[in-house]
Homo-oligomer: A and B are copies of this chain.
């Protein structure tokens, strides 16, 4: 079965609908999804950005929030703009990396996005994340320990390094086995048909 890598950063708005759509669409296309959490912060920093381009460029930001409303309404996904943006998704990403090695990482990743952009919650809250781990079938205590081991932290750093090396500059990004890169929720279908 063909595989498609789904690269995502938890602070990214458009990664929310992508995360909610990818499994159903991939199943129909007979493509296996490989969930690849990474951090956009270091990549943005290397471009000279200290925050999200949606904050740096207000017209782009205003458009994005309206666009998210429309997209979520169209998909019948709950949407609530969080009070702060972008959020710190470091612990969530470490938990996702750990969870993917334990089998609950995809469910957890969707739960994080739903909490953040469906409910407007703060995803840097360890108590919330512990609850989401448990809801996703993981052991919350074990996960909070496993997420911050040197090995797990390195795995996330390494994923971020690989993302940059592959030419990834935004989230969501989709990478086919042949190295074709697609950027953006609205390119998911095209990425699957290339995969």
Contacts and interface: CB of A to CB of B under 8 A. Distances in A.
Nearest to A194: B70
A35 B120 CA distance: 39
Nearest to A47: B57
A60 interface: yes
A60 B47 CA distance: 10
Given A47-B57, A57-B47, A63 B187 contact: no
> How big is the A interface, by class?
20 to 34
Instruction: Give how many copies assemble into the complex.
Output: 2
Contacts of A164: 59
A103 interface: no
B187 A60 contact: no
Given A168-B59, A186-B186, A181 B47 contact: no
A126 interface: no
A60 B169 CA distance: 6
Nearest to A49: B57
Given A186-B186, A187-B186, A181 B63 contact: yes
A126 to B, nearest CB: 33
Given A60-B169, A66-B181, 16 more contacts: A47-B56, A57-B169, A59-B164, A59-B167, A59-B169, A60-B170, A62-B167, A63-B167, A63-B181, A63-B183, A66-B180, A67-B182, A67-B183, A184-B186, A186-B186, A186-B187
